[in-house]
Amino acid sequence: MNDSERAATIRPVVGLTTYLEQSRTGVWDVRASFLPHVYFDGIGRAGGIAVLLPPQPADREIADRVVDGLDALVLTGGVDVDPAGYGQDRHPETDSPRTDRDRWEFALLEAALRRHVPVLGICRGIQVLNVALGGTLHQHLPDVVGHSRHRAGNAVFSSTQIDITPGTRLASMLGESVETQCYHHQAIDRPAESLVVSARDSDHLIEAVEIPGDDFVVAVQWHPEERLDDLRLFSAVVDAARVRLARSQKVEV
């Protein structure tokens, strides 16, 4: 087996952030960390090894130690980011703050960016990325666009056509447009200065952002885990992790 073949067999370790909520299973009704199976199933199908990262107290040293064991980081979906993090009061429709999860994910993200670890943000994940880098959010989209099609309710995902910005990393992965599954009532308002907008929908809402340059930092507002017949986003972050890992091990890719 040559070096390129060996590199292709590398299975990177991909950390996925999780919920921390009250959860009922059988006779138990306890506060628990969990993540829908489709997220880590997508990483596994794309060739990665998924590990779950439950919210917990974290300082810079703890976050650094966690991220040192990862080859990529996925910021997953979930409850709304605390608007205090971007200087706003909470809208009546915004979720009660989960400051433990916010602090955890901000710490992991900061450690990953410093280490040039590939990052993929999904739904809440794009919002975490934007807020962490200094951007703001629309707290309730019906107030902005006049309808609730982005979050139909009752766990029913809406199908949305997304237009992708030519010349972006996302365009190199997905082409000019993609049909997506969405379930969100918030979205990016003012993007952080370090981010490039790489997709919008028919309401002109921001649907994807990325950091330009060599590092893989891509985030989308939709839910790619709901369409595992299309693994391109999961494969992209796993491939980016594989390249970084292979280079650290001095294996040709």
Asked whether the beta carbons of 73 and 14 are under 8 A apart, the reply is yes
- In this structure, which amino acid lies at residue 161? Q
- Would residue 147 show up in a list of annotated catalytic residues for this protein? no
Q: Which of 251, 105, 226 is nearest to 158 (CA)?
A: 226
Residue 87 burial by CB count (10 A; 0-12/13-18/19+): exposed, middle or buried?
exposed
Backbone angles phi, psi at 47, to 5 degrees: 105, 10
Q: Given 93, 150, 223, 252, which residue is catalytic? A: 223
Amino acid at 167: G
Q: How many CB atoms lie within 10 A of CB 106?
A: 19
Select which of 105, 207, 210, 225 is catalytic.
Answer: 225
Annotated catalytic residue, options 123, 138, 185, 210? 123
Do 192 and 133 meet the contact criterion of CB atoms below 8 Å apart?
Answer: yes
Is the alpha carbon torsion for 172, 207, 212, 100 positive or negative?
negative
Exposed e or buried b per residue across 17-41, where buried means at least 16 C-beta atoms within 10 angstroms of its C-beta = bbbbeeeeeeeeeeeebebeeebbe
225 has catalytic annotation: yes
Is residue 5 among the annotated active site residues? no
| Residue numbers annotated as active site | 123, 223, 225
